[in-house]
Every structure is written in C-alpha cells, then in structure tokens.
Amino acid sequence: MLENLKIAPRYHGLLYLAESARNLPSIKSHRHLELELNLVVQGTISYVVSGRRFTFKRGALLWLFPSQEHQLVDCSRDAKFYVAVFKRMLIGRVAGSADYRGLRGNKAIAHGVLHAWLRPESFDLIRKTMQALLEGAPDPDVLNREAGFGAKSDFRFHHDDPEGLNAGLQHLLLLCWRCQRDAQSPGNAVRLHPAVANALNFLSESVDHEDLDDLARRCGASSAHLSRMFSRQIGLPMSRYRNLVRLERFFEKYRGALKSSITEAAYAAGFGSYAQFHRVFCEAYGKGPRECLTRGNACRALNAPDGRYVE
C-alpha cells in the first residue's frame, strides 16, 4: 500500500520519537515515496521486508528506501526509536558527490534492510542531533497517536522553525550516511516460510472471524505447524499479532469520519465480542478503553482528534 505522508511543501521531511508506551504503531505493510531512517534507542523492533524478518535493538540504524515495502510487525513494550523521513528533493540536493551517491540508489534490492550497528560515540551524536530537532515539533503524545503524519485524520506535521528543521534534516542525513559507511552491518534476517508470509497477508487484509484451522488451510499448512512457525519467525504468537491488527483497525474506525462509538468500532475491527476487545485493550494499554478514551483522562495519547468521548 502506497502511504501518503502528507508533508507540507515547506518541510523537507519530518522527525519524531516513536514509543510503544504511548501508542501502538501502525503494523500494516506499506511504502512511501520518501526515504525513512530509524534509530533504535531502547527495546527492540521487528520489520518484515522482502519475505524476511529483521529485528533491531538499541544502537541500530536502519534505512527504508523510497517505495520499499515494509511492515513493522512487533515492538517490545519498552521500545523507543526515532523515525526520520526525507523527501526525494532533499536527497537529490545532497547526494551529488561519490561519497553520498548511494543515497540515490535502492540498496533494498540487495540488502532487504540496509542497517548498521553504531559505535557508542556515533550513536550518541545521532541521538542528540535528532532530539535537538524535536524542539518546536508537536507534542510527543500527538505525534505518537498520529504515527508522525496522521494517516487517518486531518493531522499534519508542523514545526515552529521550518528553516531550522530543514537545515537540521540535511545535516542529519549526511551524518547518518557517513556513520553507515563506517559501521558494521551484520546480517540478522530470518527468511519467512511461504505459509507464514501468507498468514501475515491474510491477517492484515481480513476482518473475518476466521479460525486457525481455516487460516492454516488457506496457507497450506497444519494449524499446529503454522502456529509454531509464525511464533518462531515473526517473534510473537499469531493470536497477539491478530489482536494488534484488530486494535489498529479499531483506532481507524473510532477516529474515522463516520464517528463510530467504541463498541461499533470494536466490532467493525473484527473483535468477536466487547469482552474480548476490552481484554486486548487492557493488555496493550493497562487501562480499559472507556478510561483511556474519555476526555481529559491521563491517557492522552489515545484521545480522539476531535476530543469526542463515549460514556
């Protein structure tokens, strides 16, 4: 799916700190026209790219090139990682010399996910540079709720100092590429079994209450074998992944244009009952949906964009 990041013309990109504790990330497979850069500062994150799973921990710098399909399938509960996005016009401006020409290409074809494990001094420098650029950006709760750019709402990234942000993004891009060239890039990919890859696609596309036996039959494997392979290769049980997909759909429905209630959005997302939805929501956020989605509640990251609430 081609994602429109809706970055205003005056910005050359955007930057935010993604945190699992504030909100669940988007886990749909997608691509976009911009270059994306992640720096993991805490916990672990896992992507599926080109039929392989890549897991990254603190100190990892990873590149997702323009139009490269990628899927963030899991984050540890304590995960924190910076997400920087750069427009093509910025890349074209800075990637003229031989040292930076690699930014113009698509390393994804050969590498799956181009990445490096940074030296401590390089990690600290990049982290501090990214943190400094967040001065003047929207509230972290808002950025996490909207995945930085507002896929399903009217939210648009903004910054109090566009010129400073643009200059900083250019410096950040060149700095990260220099560190990439100087660092080690050991392979850590797990090639997915075709049945697991099919299960990922089916679970992401369908809201039906399909049981495990039916899903396994569609994927060409027994239910027990598929369940074991999925947990081993993706890094989390299939049931948890399915519930993450449903939670993501819940927020799309609840925050969407049709103004669904909590209960309506839960059923539309594929939950079989409100009790099941409530249990899954509590496991993810530590509080019930009505507590988190009520106006003025401390769980501000989950408030609907228009401030509505359901009693």
Whether residue 131 is found in the same domain as residue 252: no
What is the rounded distance in angstroms from the CA atom of residue 156 to the CA atom of residue 175? Answer: 27
Residues 234 and 131 in one domain: no
Indicate the residue among 190, 205, 237 that finishes a domain. Answer: 190
Q: Which of 147, 174, 190 is the last residue of a domain?
A: 190
Residue 166, domain extent: 13-190
Q: What does the pLDDT read at residue 208?
A: 64
Tell me: do 161 and 203 sit in the same domain.
Answer: no
pLDDT tens string 204-244? 777 665 678 888 988 999 999 999 999 888 888 888 888 88
Please indicate, yes or no, whether residues 122 and 132 belong to a single structural domain of this protein.
yes
What local confidence, expressed as pLDDT, does residue 304 receive?
Answer: 37
Exposure pattern of 248-280 as b/e (b: 16+ CB <10 Å)? Answer: bbbbbbbbeeeebebeebbbbbbbeeeeebbeb
pLDDT of res. 185: 63
**Structural domain contains residue 104:** yes
Same domain, 128 and 250: no
Predicted pLDDT of residue 224: 92
Q: Please give the structure tokens belonging to residue 110.
A: 């050969």
Choose among 287, 286, 301, 290: nearest CA to 266: 290
In this prediction, residue 9 carries a pLDDT of 95
**What is the CATH number for 266?**
1.10.10.60
Tell me whether residue 7 is in a domain: no
**Do residues 118 and 214 share a domain?**
no
CATH number, domain with residue 29: 2.60.120.280
What phi and psi, each to the nearest 5 degrees, are found at residue 307?
Answer: 75, 10
> Is 216 found in the same domain as 125?
no
Question: Structural domain tally of the chain?
Answer: 2
As a whole number of angstroms, the distance between CA 6 and CA 155 comes to 9
Q: What is the pLDDT of residue 310?
A: 32
| pLDDT less than 50: residues of the chain | 295-311
- 172 with 224, same domain? no
Residue 310 placed within a domain: no
Same domain, 181 and 285: no
Detail the DSSP E strand segments found in 89-247. 114-117, 189-191
For residue 300, what pLDDT is reported? 43
Q: Are residues 72 and 182 both part of a single domain?
A: yes
